Structure 1
Amino acid sequence: MTLKLVVSAPFKSMRKEQLKKTELIYFLTIDKRWMNNDQAGKIIRMAIKEGLLEESGNHLKPSFSASDVEIPLGYKPSSDIFETEPNPVDILISEIAEKRSVNAGEVVAEINSVIKNVFDTNLEFEAAAVIVARKYRVDFSDKIPKFLKNVNETNV
């Protein structure tokens, strides 16, 4: 999901169906200052490999409707996006969204609401995602070891 957010941001912002590779890199590096040139190139390669971006000539276009992707206000990708292993929270969010037939932005909003309104911001995002998954009966048992690893790394 995170990679999809990063990929859709320039298309949404510029209101274009396709962009030149240089325009995409400019957006990620200079306009948003989210990463350096090498990282932006890696993002593009990852997105092409995962089928999120399609190349046509020297233009790139998303394989999905970028306008349908909800980008949270103030969003900035973390360095986790460069991990080759998919983030289990993103997978869980996608699974919840699919089960509920809503977009992932609504699921993230509900998770954030649980954190803020129910736990007064005293809950990790992963734990809130599990609570929301349990609410909608989405299995998360295969993701628990990775969640615990992430939480332990964060709290060291």
Structure 2
Amino acid sequence: MSLKTAVAAPFRQRGTDRMAESEFVVALSLDRNWFSPDQAKTLVDVATSEGLLEPEGDTLAVGFDASSTTIPDGFQPGEEILQSRSTFEQVLDAVVETGVEKQTAVADINKRQSELGVTLNAAAVVYARSEGVDVGGIAAEVREEL
């Protein structure tokens, strides 16, 4: 997922799991020239809402193991990652990231939804867990929706 990769890059570059928000914004906008400073701040908001970043005062902590995230050579995130994604999209991306084909995952999620008679988000979480994908934070949100 390119959002996770974009978030991981500054932390990997500095070899840390915490940094000032301003340092994170500079890393994305000036150091890497991926976004404008305003766009980098938007990325902070989106990544925070998805649990990838955890604000601690003026500091950001990465909410996953950034050191194990691969940043491909020539990686350049698109502006689409600056938009919030639905719960279903978040779960689907997490599943696809583990190597499951997107079409297969969508078909299996739809089948689960039909069989269980639950919302699409709930079916996605059940499917992700059956595939061994950790979607803990999202699962809690979906549980509250039910």
- The TM-score bracket by the shorter chain reads 0.5 to 0.7
2:21 counterpart residue number: 21
* TM-aligned CA deviation for residue 66 of structure 1: 0.4
- TM-score if structure 2 supplies the norm length? 0.63
How high is the sequence identity, in percent, across the aligned residues? Answer: 30
2:106 corresponds in structure 1 to 140
Cα offset, 1:133, TM superposition? 1.7
The C-alpha deviation readout for 1:19-72, integer Å capped at 9, x for no partner, is 101110110110000010110000001111111111122111111110011111
Aligned residue pair count = 109
Q: SS at 1:139's partner residue? A: helix
Structure 1: 5+ residue stretches without partners: 99-106, 108-131, 144-156
Partners of 1:48 and 1:93 in 2: CA distance: 17
| Counterpart-to-counterpart distance in 2, 1:80 and 1:70 | 20
Ranges in structure 2 where 5+ consecutive residues have no aligned partner:
111-146
CA distance in 2 between partners of 1:49 and 1:89 (Å): 14
Q: Normalising by structure 1, report the TM-score.
A: 0.59
Q: Find the counterpart in structure 1 of residue 131 from structure 2.
A: none
